[in-house]
Structure 1
Amino acid sequence: MSTEEHRNSLADQAAAWVPPWERPRPPRDTPPDAGDDSPRPDHGGETPPEGAAASTIPAEPEPATNSEPRAPEPDTGEPAVAEPAAAEPAAAEPAAGGPEPVAGAAARVPSKRPAQRRRATAPEPARQLDDAELRGALEAILLVVDEPVSEATLADVLEQPATRIGAMLDEISAGYTAAGHGFDLRRAAGGWRLYTRPEYATYVERFVLDGQSVRLTQAALETLAVVAYKQPVTRSRISAIRGVNCDGVIRTLVTRGLVEECGTEPESGAFLYRTTPLFLEKLGLNSVDELPPLAPFLPDDVEELSDATR
């Protein structure tokens, strides 16, 4: 066969070749080989014509994907070089009843890296106040307080050591006394507060009271004194000391905040009473230990009177 006839034969075969997906399919009820005695070519190709057995064009394999078919390339007489197939990751088949797999291997990799935790920054150290600024801050706070304020509270507010606060308060109090001010800074009820000096009490009373004052009765003062010196004490004990019933007076002192309940007596279950911080504040005392002793004011036959009341 000449070269020209060989090329024509190849061209005829390429023109007559029909892709497998365009060929008519036999009915399902008919067996694949029924009524067809002609040999079926492998891979879906047609029977080559006679004389072209040595130069047949191998049929293209059926594509595995749904991509569009490519047109056959003409034979140039050079051996065909197989193109390497693109390696695609095999998708894992989902298990029965399980979740659908995520498309693509890259979808299983997080697109963003987890944010790193920020380390907690150490708080900035408190600024150290100089003596003049610390003195002014303490005086400003003490002018607006309505009850004695402790050194610990002042240290927390000003962010300064409590020892330095206590030393500065002592220095301020000594400075007021040395300068002869009409007010004084002293301890009372476990804290610090500004008070007027006793030598100016008459002027202060004239300004504050102005003839209108609510004073404690003599019975209330006596009851309050008994509670202050005998606390904690029951109402029956107070009544025995005073010789009269003091239930109404106790209620009055509790209402004014000078006396409060502090538990019950184990033997009888009666309520116990004691003085409050307001009592110390009104008297300008730091604790009940600063109360004046009663020995100079007691009669000589106090033991006999005590035995008689039992």
Structure 2
Amino acid sequence: MSDEERQDSLADQAAAWVPPWERPTARQNPAPTPTGAAPPEDRTPAGAAPPEDRTPAGAAPPEDRTPAEAPPEPDRIPAGAVPAAPERTPVGAVPGGPGTAAGERGTAGVPRRQSAGRRRAAVVPEPAPELDDAELRGALEAILLVVDEPVSELLLAQVLEQRPERIGPVLDDIAAGYTAAGHGFELRRAAGGWRLYTRPEYAAHVERFVLDGQAARLTQAALETLAVIAYKQPVTRGRVSAIRGVNCDGVLRTLVSRGLVEECGAEPDSGAFLYRTTTMFLEKLGLDSVADLPPLAPFLPDDVEELADATR
């Protein structure tokens, strides 16, 4: 075959070539093939790349050709729309259990934080109602009958759940009423609190009833030691012995055992124990504080300065 005939043959083949996307498929009715003729072959020029399924630029691929592993398109919320609030797990509910949305996050057994409305709705205890004067007076009298030591106004107010400023005037009124009625007892303030006491004019009768057959009186040495501690407190044992001029170890142990004197630390320089009077001491003497002790000047002798010079 000459060169011209070969060129004409290649030109005819190129002109008769049909792209694959335009070729009829097997579903379509194929063109009848003459009996005995070989089916047409898809002839591709030698060295040419196999035809690809080309989609025109800008055209969306058909729906059935979307890759199976492609992520789904996220839901789009229109502009200005408020997203729906996520469902909350009830308090004490287990995620995935009844009453919990599927896939909701949470920790099993851990209750979720209560809302602000629930916190505000917490029960607040209401204050106790205020007692009238007659009821408050009766309650105070009942408490004062059972106390074994003076009780303060603040403690009485806390027990009765009343304002502290109401307690003092009512107690003063009760004390004035007992005195005016001439009762054998009185309400008196002592040792920083209030307590019922027998009246001094009936002391002989009470003493005979309480101390009948008992020797409860303090000795002269104990009274002197107690007086030194009361006016010089806090004071060491050596200082008390120096003032009295005798050893007072045994007497001091007696006063401690009676509850009239107690230890209150140690002296910084010598390390000796310091002693002071107790609340029972104030209660027994009917005093509110140590400042109410009578002054010593009227009980001192006239020649006290001469006695002091003689002992030097």
The alignment partner of 1:273 has SS state of strand
Q: Verify: 1:282 aligned to 2:284, yes or no.
A: yes
Match of 2:215 in 1: 213
**1:240·1:309 contact (CA, 8 Å) conserved in 2?**
no
Aligned with residue 296 of structure 2, among 291, 294, 297: 294
1:108 alignment partner, SS class: coil
Instruction: Show CA shifts across 1:245-289 (max 9, x none).
Output: 011111221122111122233333322211011100111111112
Alignment of 1:1-310 (within 5 A): 107-109=102-104, 115-116=114-115, 117-119=118-120, 120-310=122-312
Q: Which structure 2 residue ranges, 5 or more long, are not aligned? A: 1-25, 32-62, 65-69, 73-94
Structure-2 change in CA distance of 1:113 and 1:200 (3 Å): closer
1-structure distance, mates of 2:215, 2:135: 40
SS at match of 2:187: strand
| Distance across 2 between alignment mates of 1:290 and 1:134 | 30
Length-normalised TM-score, structure 2: 0.63
| Aligned residue pair count | 222
- Matched residue type, 1:229: Y
Cα RMSD after superposing both structures: 3.2
Shift in Å at residue 156 of structure 1?
Answer: 0.4
Q: Distance in 2 between matches of 1:286 and 1:199?
A: 21
Whole-Å separation in 2 of the counterparts to 1:114 and 1:195: 58
Which secondary structure state, in structure 2, belongs to the residue aligned with residue 168 of structure 1?
helix
Task: Report % sequence identity.
Answer: 76
Residue by residue, what CA displacement relative to the aligned partner does 1:189-208 show, whole Å, maximum 9, x if unpaired? Answer: 10000000000011111111
Q: What is the TM-score when the length of structure 1 is the normalising length?
A: 0.64
Which one has more relative contact order, counting CA pairs under 8 Å at least 6 apart? Answer: 1
Letter in 1 for 2:175: S
* Farther-moved stretch of structure 1 (181-190 vs 292-301): 292-301
Shift of 1:177: 0.6
What is the CA distance between 1:107 and its match in structure 2?
Answer: 3.0
Which whole-Å deviations, capped at 9, do the CAs of 1:185-236 have from their partners, x for residues lacking one?
0111100000000000111111112222322221111100111111111111
- Tell me, yes or no, if the aligned pair for 1:176 and 1:184 is still in contact at 8 Å: yes
Equivalent residue letter for 2:119: R
- The C-alpha deviation readout for 1:69-123, integer Å capped at 9, x for no partner, is xxxxxxxxxxxxx99xxxxx979xxxxxxxxxx99xx632259986434333333
Structure 1 portions without partners, runs of 5+:
1-47, 55-81, 84-88, 92-101
Confirm or deny: 8 A CA contact 1:184 1:194 kept in the other structure.
yes
Residue 267 of structure 1: SS of its match in structure 2?
A: coil
Secondary structure of the corresponding residue to residue 246 of structure 2: coil
SS class of match (2:215)? coil
SS at match of 2:264: strand
CA shift in 2, pair 1:90/1:205, >3 Å: farther
Q: Which runs of 4 or more aligned residues in structure 1 lie more than 4 Å from their structure 2 counterparts after TM superposition?
A: 51-54, 110-115
